Amino acid sequence: MSGEGLRAKAAIVGVADAVSPTGLLEGSTRALEVQVIREALEDAGLTIADVDAVCSNLSNGWAASLELAEYLGISPRWTDSTQTGGSSFEIHVEHAAAAIALGLCDVAVIVYAATPYSSFKKGGPGFGSRQAAPGPTPVAEWEMPFGNRMPMGAYALAASRHMYEFGTTSEQLAQIAVDTRQWASMNPRARLQELITVADVLDSPMQATPLHKLDCCLVTDGAGAIVLTSAARARDLRKAPALVLGTGTCHTHAMISQMPDLTTTGAAVSGPLAFAAARLSPAEVDVVQLYDSFTITVLLLLEDLGFCPKGEGGPFVSDGVLAPGGALPANTTGGGLAYTHPGMFGMFLLVEAVRQLRGECGDRQVPGAEVALAHGSGGVLSAMSTVILGTEATA
């Protein structure tokens, strides 16, 4: 079955996330996983007894979904522990939607929880870059000796190259952070809610040239869960379904030194795949949720997904196109730059995309949103996955 053959066969029917404006959450990661799973199932009007597929990328690697299912007291007939960092959850949606369409499962739960900020506050390591993992790894042998500060150093390389090739400026990158903060100012659960200016971004401490502190994402606690089922079953459930119209995935490298082109990500492959499956174009997207680990991440994704030509991302974002009232509303929670970022933000992109399609976002609601795009980025611009969701009107 082709990607287009899977169009609108499955839907996201339940969502939940746990975040705090303090950045801190109470409880273990397992307790938070259970909390958001219960809330997402309640949101859908389902129970744990309905679940026959589990997706989790935490805990003991390959055993993540096994351990979670055991804890929940269920025996799924479909399981997924795919771990690609921040894009894992978009990939889980792609896998689960295909499994549902093929009759391999009926109800899939995808979950994520992490508490790096609490860990740090308690004297633990907090969030550590996987690129700096100990042992005889390729990164340890071939990249760490050069002292590139990770992970921001990897993105700084991409930003520097984009600036060199296309004339992109720090002011243009800063505008992305400014626009994102406008959305956060309307979200009482966001970690950072105060409005900022381009000057504020440029005056914040340099982290890895040319990226300043306010170009970089947060480190917070957070958890989220989503529930998928067939489009047919979704129509009888509690909330309006967010139909999975198209998906696409591409990974290009593991180490930043091996990225084929620092200015082009795998989104240049995953995006067209998703749009072709959805039978839509970028111009038909009403709201986008883009992985914003750094401002340069957003700019690269806008280009690679086709919202503007390659090299024109700087001028494209310079006039507030991503802000409230802009032509392309983006990261309407406040994103990883201002809402929350527990280490892998892809889950929260999906939750917000669904809420926007349902019209549940209050002051930050995008009027008439019928098509939403959520795009996850994992590793160091390594693994890209695009999910396009739509309402019944787009079926």
Q: Is the pLDDT of residue 115 over 70?
A: yes
Burial of 60 (0-12, 13-18, 19+ CB in 10 A): exposed
Q: How far apart are CA 368 and CA 370, in angstroms?
A: 6
Q: Residue 59's pLDDT is what?
A: 56
The CATH superfamily assigned to 4-120+217-394 is Thiolase/Chalcone synthase (3.40.47.10)
In whole numbers, what is the pLDDT of the chain averaged over residues? 94
Known active-site residue 71: no
**Banded model confidence at residue 5, pLDDT cuts 50, 70, 90:** confident
Please report, rounded to a whole number, the percentage of residues in the chain having pLDDT higher than 70: 95
Q: Residue 125: its pLDDT value, please?
A: 60
pLDDT (0 to 100) of residue 48 = 97
**What is the tens place of the pLDDT at every residue in 231-275?**
999 999 999 999 999 999 999 999 999 999 999 999 999 999 999
- What pLDDT does 2 receive? 61
pLDDT above 80 (res 26): yes
User: What pLDDT, on a 0 to 100 scale, did the predictor assign at position 145?
Assistant: 83
When pLDDT is averaged across residues 287-302 and rounded to a whole number, the result is 98
When pLDDT is cut at 50, 70 and 90, the band that residue 142 belongs to is confident
Q: Write out the E strands in the chain.
A: 10-18, 53-56, 78-80, 108-114, 206-208, 211-212, 222-230, 242-251, 287-290, 371-378, 383-390
Residue 133 pLDDT? 54
Backbone angles phi, psi at 228, to 5 degrees: -120, 150
Choice among 112, 117, 155, 339 that is catalytic: 339
Residue closest to 322 by CA, chosen among 346, 290, 350: 290
Judge if the upstream peptide bond of residue 151 is cis by omega within 30 degrees of 0: yes
Task: Look at phi and psi of residue 3 and say left if phi exceeds 0, alpha if psi is from -120 to 50, else beta.
Answer: alpha
Kindly indicate the confidence band of residue 120, based on its pLDDT and cuts at 50, 70 and 90: confident
Whether the pLDDT of residue 85 is over 70: the answer is: yes
Per-residue confidence at 51, pLDDT binned at 50, 70, 90? very high
Q: What is the pTM of this model?
A: 0.95
- Exactly one of 112, 117, 155, 291 is catalytic; name it: 291
Close Cβ partners of 358 (under 8 Å, ≥ 6 residues apart) = 239, 240, 242
Any idea where the domains of the chain sit in the sequence? 4-120+217-394
Does pLDDT of 53 surpass 90? yes
As to burial, measured by CB atoms within 10 angstroms (0-12 exposed, 13-18 middle, 19+ buried), residue 166 is middle
Task: Select from 384, 381, 129, 82 the least CA-distant residue to 254.
Answer: 381
pLDDT at residue 117, rounded to an integer: 86
291 is a catalytic site residue: yes
